[in-house]
Chains A and B, each alone.
Chain A
């Protein structure tokens, strides 16, 4: 194994294996349409909200849907491929040399654009039903469209500055939407927390841009990726800065704490932003910057390790949650850990594939949970659910497909992409990440089925009187039903050695041919399946078996009371961050505010002002108004000038 690894490293460091293809320049009105239609919707919903009333929902959905159609119609542009180029590149404008802004639509951007607008459209439609009773209906759709626009800016950018603008706007949109119900103090706090952590990531990316501009003299993808080794010794620093940004946005350990809190937002928001699209921006960033990652083995280890750790810890924490949305939040965190691990170690196609399938099944799960929450008038605690299988059969089947997909049931979408990521880690020479990935798959099976059993099996444990829950209308069920199709079937696109997926991404990434690892892909599949089966079995015994059914309410209360505090407190990460950053910053603030600032900064300013005034009057006193005085000053200056030149001439 060790020998295989050394070979691999050498291969990766060679310049020859990497070849980054740029977009083909041209005029692509459709590309602009994808980008600007959601902005149009946002502006319209925001400006004419009161006039639009209930029409804001259909209008916002239509704008996103039109963007999706535009994205589909751009398929040919995105897939065009010559020896030098891949995809479409639309120039927008130039600033200084090195700052050229444009839109780039290649297969990688296309897959994200399709998910953002396609899944986004379904979630918009669903929201028409979910948010029907809300006062700020138009404002909600303005924010949602604004988010879609920001996210499209991020993925369609052809340079790091525009990407960062999109990156920041996405954070802003997320802030608006988490804090949408701003009457709730918890929502406001969660929004603030998410924003602060995200801005930390923005700043890190800004530093990466500084390095790139200083070393390469440009911020365009094409220039930076043309030769990653131009970054020299700063290559790893650049990757690390980019990765901090990615980790903040994608809720990677230890910057993940905002994601569970973000569940304070409306459920469609959680589905769109905190599951399907925004949190995968980090995956996009690494996949986009693959030439940098492929050139820096250290960066690969960093991203792979953090990804594996996040996958594992997220799954562990998912076991200890009672709130259905928090369970899904931790599962999101865990699944993104898989993706980051995949793209981090170099299995780009697998990582992006997992994003692709995850967007469907996670949106499906969130929207399914939204059906339940909506029906139970806001109840989110799974201990107060149970037995909903018969009362909400549609929600049950939708959730069942989603759960089976996420745990990797053979034939459903997660099965293909998750195995590809796990096997990719082994293929790229990281056996322990492979092991962690398999273990995480087992835990995932356990806690997802735990949620499913608690919600739909047994007897109803809640307070709502039977039949009181309102069944969702077609505007909410149809999007969920439509999502079932890709959730179940999207994985088949990845199947086989010459799969559709490989052909689709052909030319997007390039790399070395890897030596075959000791364990074959087929055996990996069986190992994972066995572990998953064990996980499901344990969940069944604990939550759905005959013994568990007898006194389920009391058992759950006991379990809740006995839950280890290390899990309840989420490994004390929040506390640690609080002590490390918040408390120390406050201490610094006190020191600087009470002592340093008044003494030194203010003092210096005061002194400067006083001496400036004095000097000003001094210079004014030369200004007598007398020509002879002026002539004297000039002649003295002239004497100095002549002396310098005469002297320097003498020296030479």
Chain B
């Protein structure tokens, strides 16, 4: 299958990946050279610069089509869009290190985060099963370490839980890939796209196992159980990164598989279980979020529901649905990372201010911060004038148009419950009660403030200029 991968190495396809990976080494090197207070600044600056260069190089490939490693990595409009989203989430996460995170772990954390991003980017462009698994493991291995990068015991616990459960899911997925190979005799996604073999039991059971691995990374119910614990325990920037980048990578794999590999005659039945778990996720995610006392846990559950919304857009595997899914993913990125940046601004270097009680009376103590938080929460709830509103309208339109009205019904139900989740915090922030008001934490990291501002502006701007890229039909060849 892959005769000599280096013969087909197209630099255009892999250059953003290389830039991100090499930047990680540069950060580690800077950590050795720099001394004292500038260390933090230098490490973050190098990380951000590398990511920015990668974003620009990546954007140049939009509208092109390159392939490397004998079709193992495919660069085109689809890969570009997902890689950009992953790079953006990495940028916002690295920016959070200016507000939180222990100094001694800083350079290592940023380097691991960049490698993790490289793994997710590899998943976004993966053209065969080997590359998918390689990207998945690169992403996960870096994250296992990142989750434990803290003095707190909860962080260690979260890292271990993630390691065990994620390995289980990877095992399922690897077994599924083996069955694919058995059914078709190939690991390339292009070769899997064969209607004759797609009906074989071997292929279908392989699909089941493959989807279990994907569903774990997307944290769909019931494969979501690890999410709240790991999100809560992991350091804040890591949680922020995981909440978007992991999902974007897994979503890219799922979309490429569903749109380009599965034969269109069977695609409805084959994807049905995913829609069912998406429906359950929208309900369970929002219901469980009601009872949370920690903001990171709450956002974990909210993310479980939000990924359900994105899967609703993919219902019926229409081209329009894919465009709307990407739009909503982008909107989710800004709203969610904006909320994480707000949490970062309420934290100190060693203590994360993610308890929901800390938001009590925030509207009177730090009005701008509370206003931004309120805005992101409204966006997550799907209120105008945020991109969350327009995104949900588009998803509903595409799902109903594709004949999945029942999924649209679940989306509306889930949204109705989520209002209660988000408005509870809104009410808390604007309650005037001196006794219960939390003590003020003054963190005025400029970068985190910039993140909050950019996220807020983009969330509004996407409402009026809905960027729904058209050139994103995934390719396997």
Contacts of B289 in A (CB 8 A): 616
Q: For chain A, what secondary structure do more than half of its interface residues adopt (helix, strand, loop), or is it mixed?
A: helix
Q: Give Cα A609 to B211, complex, Å.
A: 34
On whether the beta carbons of A634 and B168 are closer than 8 Å, the reply is yes
**Is A620 part of the contact surface with B, judged by Cβ < 8 Å?**
yes
Q: List 17 A-B contacts (CB under 8 A).
A: A96-B468, A612-B420, A616-B290, A620-B288, A620-B292, A623-B225, A623-B288, A625-B229, A634-B222, A637-B222, A640-B273, A642-B209, A644-B273, A645-B207, A645-B208, A646-B204, A648-B269
Cβ contact of B291, chosen from A609, A620, A627, A646, cutoff 8 A = A620
**Nearest A-chain residue to B394, judged by Cβ:** A96
| Contacting pair B273 A619 (CB below 8 A) | no
Task: Give chain A interface residues in 606-652, CB to chain B under 8 Å.
Answer: 608-609, 612-613, 615-617, 619-620, 622-623, 625, 627, 629-631, 633-634, 636-638, 640-642, 644-646, 648-650, 652
Decide yes or no whether A95 CB sits under 8 A from chain B. yes
Chain A residues with CB under 8 A of B201: 646, 649-650
Which residues from chain A contact B465 at a C-beta distance below 8 Å? 95
Least CB distance from A13 to B in Å reads: 32
**Does B164 lie within 8 Å of A633, measured CB to CB?**
no
Report how far A640 CA is from B220 CA in the complex, Å. Answer: 14
Would B204 and A645 count as touching, CB distance under 8 A? yes
Cβ-based interface call for B2 (8 A): no
Decide if B72 is an interface residue (CB 8 Å cutoff). Answer: no
Q: Measured between alpha carbons, how far is A608 from B396 in the docked complex, in Å?
A: 23
Closest to A615 in B: B287
A29 to B46, CA, bound (A): 46
3 tightest A-B CB contacts, nearest first: A616-B290, A637-B222, A616-B291
Interface presence of B284 (CB below 8 A): yes
Inside 8 A of B228's CB, which chain A residues have their CB?
A: 623
Cβ of A96: which chain B residues have Cβ within 8 Å of it? 466, 468
A508 to B284, CA, bound (A): 59
Min CB distance, A630 to chain B, in Å?
4
Contact between B205 and A613 (Cβ–Cβ < 8 Å)?
A: no
Contact present for A619 and B287 (CB under 8 Å): yes
Would you call A638 and B161 a contact (CB within 8 A)? no
Contact B205 A645 (CB under 8 A): yes
CB < 8 Å neighbour of A612 from B168, B204, B269, B287: B287
Nearest Cβ in chain B — how far from A608, in angstroms?
A: 8
Beyond A608-B416, A631-B168, A646-B201, 14 additional contacts (C-beta under 8 Å) are A616-B290, A617-B291, A620-B288, A625-B229, A629-B225, A633-B225, A637-B212, A637-B222, A638-B209, A641-B208, A641-B212, A645-B204, A648-B204, A650-B201
Query: In the bound complex, do residue A627 and residue B199 qualify as a contact, i.e. CB atoms below 8 Å apart?
Result: no
Q: Tell me the bound Cα distance from A650 to B416 in angstroms.
A: 39
Residues of A with C-beta under 8 A to B226? 630
Chain A nearest Cβ from B235, distance in angstroms? 19
A637 adjacent to B290 (CB under 8 Å): no
Given the contacts A612-B290, A646-B208, A652-B199, A638 and B172 also touching, CB distance less than 8 Å: yes
Residue of A nearest to B162 (CB): A627
Q: Residue A619 contacts which of B160, B229, B272, B288 (CB distance < 8 angstroms)?
A: B288
B238 interface residue per 8 A CB criterion: no
The reply to whether the CB of B41 lies closer than 8 angstroms to some CB of chain A is no
Residue of A nearest to B289 (CB): A616
| B205 engages A646 (CB within 8 Å) | yes
**B221, B223, B225, B420, most chain A CB atoms within 10 A:** B225
C-alpha spacing A610/B339, complex, angstroms = 27
State the Cβ distance, B142 to closest chain A Cβ, in Å: 21
Q: How far is the CA of A652 from the CA of B208 in the complex (A)?
A: 16
Interface size on B, residues (CB 8 A): 45
- Which residues of B185-228 are within 8 A (CB) of A? 199-201, 204-205, 207-209, 211-212, 215-216, 221-223, 225-226, 228
Q: Do the beta carbons of B464 and A95 come within 8 Å of each other?
A: yes
A95-B466, A616-B287 known; A622-B225 Cβ under 8 A:
yes
Decide yes or no whether B169 CB sits under 8 A from chain A.
Answer: yes
Across-interface contacts of A609 in B (CB, < 8 A) = 420
Q: Could you say which residues of chain B place their CB within 8 Å of the CB of A636?
A: 222
Asked whether B441 is an interface residue with its Cβ less than 8 Å from the other chain, the reply is no
B56 interface contact, C-beta 8 A: no
A255 to B199, CA, bound (A): 65
CB-CB < 8 A to A633: which residues of B?
Answer: 222, 225
Q: Which residues of B contact A640 (CB under 8 A)?
A: 273
Q: Which residue of B lies closest to A638 (CB)?
A: B212
Q: Which residue of A lies closest to B280 (CB)?
A: A637
Least Cβ–Cβ distance between A29 and chain B, in angstroms: 24
* Residue positions of A touching B, CB distance < 8 A: 95-96, 608-609, 612-613, 615-617, 619-620, 622-623, 625, 627, 629-631, 633-634, 636-638, 640-642, 644-646, 648-650, 652
Cβ of B225 and Cβ of A630 under 8 Å apart? yes
State how many angstroms separate the Cβ of B473 from the closest Cβ of chain A: 17
Q: Is the CB of A641 within 8 A of B211?
A: yes
In the docked arrangement, what's the CA distance between A620 and B161, Å?
18
- Counting chain B CB atoms within 10 Å of each CB, the highest count among A620, A629, A634, A636 belongs to A634
User: Is A612 a contact partner of B417 (Cβ separation < 8 A)?
Assistant: yes
Which among B161, B222, B289 has the greatest number of chain A C-beta atoms within 10 A?
B222
Contact bitstring B450-477, A, C-beta under 8 A = 1, else 0 = 0000000000000011101000000000
Q: In the complex, are the beta carbons of A627 and B208 less than 8 A apart?
A: no
Q: How far is the CA of A622 from the CA of B223 in the complex (A)?
A: 13
The interface residues of chain A lying within 8 Å CB-to-CB of B269 are: 648
Alpha-carbon separation in the docked complex, A77 to B54 (Å):
48
- Chain A residue numbers with a CB within 8 Å of B204 are 645-646, 648-649
Q: Which residue of B lies closest to A635 (CB)?
A: B168
Instruction: Give the complex CA separation of A383 and B225 in angstroms.
Output: 86
Closest to B208 in A: A645
Chain B residues near A642 (CB, 8 Å)? 205, 208-209
Interface membership of B49, Cβ < 8 A: no
* CA distance in complex: A615, B211 (Å): 27
B440 adjacent to chain A (CB < 8 Å): no
Give the distance in Å from the alpha carbon of A619 to the alpha carbon of B169 in the complex.
22
What residues of chain A lie closer than 8 Å to B53, measured between beta carbons? Answer: none
Chain A residues positioned under 8 Å from B221 (CB to CB): 637
Give the shortest distance, in Å, between A487 (CB) and chain B (any CB). 46
B165 beta carbon closer than 8 Å to chain A: yes
CB proximity of B85 to chain A, nearest CB, Å: 21
The answer to whether A619 and B208 touch across the interface, beta carbons within 8 angstroms, is: no
Q: Is A634 a contact partner of B165 (Cβ separation < 8 A)?
A: yes
B residues less than 8 Å from A625 (CB atoms) = 229
Docked complex: B364-420 residues within 8 A CB-CB of A: 416-417, 420
Residues of chain B within 8 A (CB-CB) of A638 are: 172, 208-209, 212, 223
- How far, in angstroms, from A633 to B280 measured CA to CA in the complex? 14
Inter-chain CA distance A615–B413, complex, in Å, is 14
Q: Which residues from 288 to 326 on chain B have a C-beta closer than 8 Å to any C-beta of chain A?
A: 288-292
- Chain A residue numbers with a CB within 8 Å of B222 are 633-634, 636-637
B420 touches A630 (CB 8 A): no
Nearest Cβ on chain A to B207's Cβ, whole angstroms = 6
Within the assembled complex, what's the spacing in Å between the Cα atoms of A645 and B216? Answer: 18
A620's closest neighbor in chain B, by CB? B291
> Complex: how many Å from CA A95 to CA B284?
35
Chain B residue at minimum C-beta to C-beta distance from A650? B201
Closest partner residue, chain A, to B393 (CB atom): A96
| B185 CB, nearest partner CB in chain A, Å | 19
Q: Give chain A residues whose Cβ lies under 8 Å from the Cβ of B208.
A: 638, 641-642, 644-646
Do A649 and B205 contact each other (CB < 8 Å), given the known contacts A627-B161, A634-B168, A641-B273?
yes
From A612, A630, A644, contact of B165 by CB (8 A)? A630
**Which residues from chain B contact A634 at a C-beta distance below 8 Å?**
165, 168-169, 216, 222-223, 225
- Chain A residues contacting B216 (CB-CB under 8 Å) are 634
- Tell me, in angstroms, the Cα distance from A612 to B286 when the chains sit together: 9
State in angstroms the CA–CA spacing of A616 and B298 once bound together. Answer: 12
A615 proximity list for chain B (CB < 8 A): 287, 290
Q: Which residues of A contact B212 (CB under 8 A)?
A: 637-638, 641
Cα A631 to Cα B165 with chains together (Å): 7
Complex Cα spacing A95 to B165, Å: 44
B residues less than 8 Å from A641 (CB atoms)? 208-209, 211-212, 215, 273
